[in-house]
Amino acid sequence: MLKGICPLISPELLKILSEMGHGDEIVLADAHFPAHSVGQRVIRADGIGTVPLLEGILQLIPLDQYDRSNFVLMEVVPGDDVKPVIWEDYRAVLSAAEPDAELSFAERFAYYERAKQAYCVVATGETAQYANIILKKGVVR
């Protein structure tokens, strides 16, 4: 346990966040996401929801200020009758941590392709649908 670091951030995740450079991406994957078939590196965060994990991560890394798609969600598949209420929680966390950042969206299969290039996929225990997030790391100023 370290002072000032969210206890949900495991030593392995802290190492990954530290290793990532400007422009590297990390996926916070919900429990439905094919983390192991998509990810180059996968960290398990079973039982942990994406909202508190996101809060802990955004205390440690900035988002890429040069790329407006630095916080990416998977679009709802056309015809799918799901309203991802968790996105409002994401907006609140993002607004508190990175007031100038905005949510952006990618089509499902484009999202998977982008996730394949991510530095790491964190497989969370989040059960909400469409709760996946791609974060692009920026520079600490």
Task: In whole angstroms, give the CA distance from residue 82 to residue 69.
Answer: 23
Nearest to 127 by CA among 46, 63, 56, 31: 31
Nearest to 21 by CA among 141, 116, 138: 138
Please say whether the beta carbons of 104 and 69 come within 8 A.
yes
Local structure of residue 68 (DSSP, 8 states): S
Please say whether the beta carbons of 140 and 27 come within 8 A.
no
Which positions are annotated as active-site residues?
22
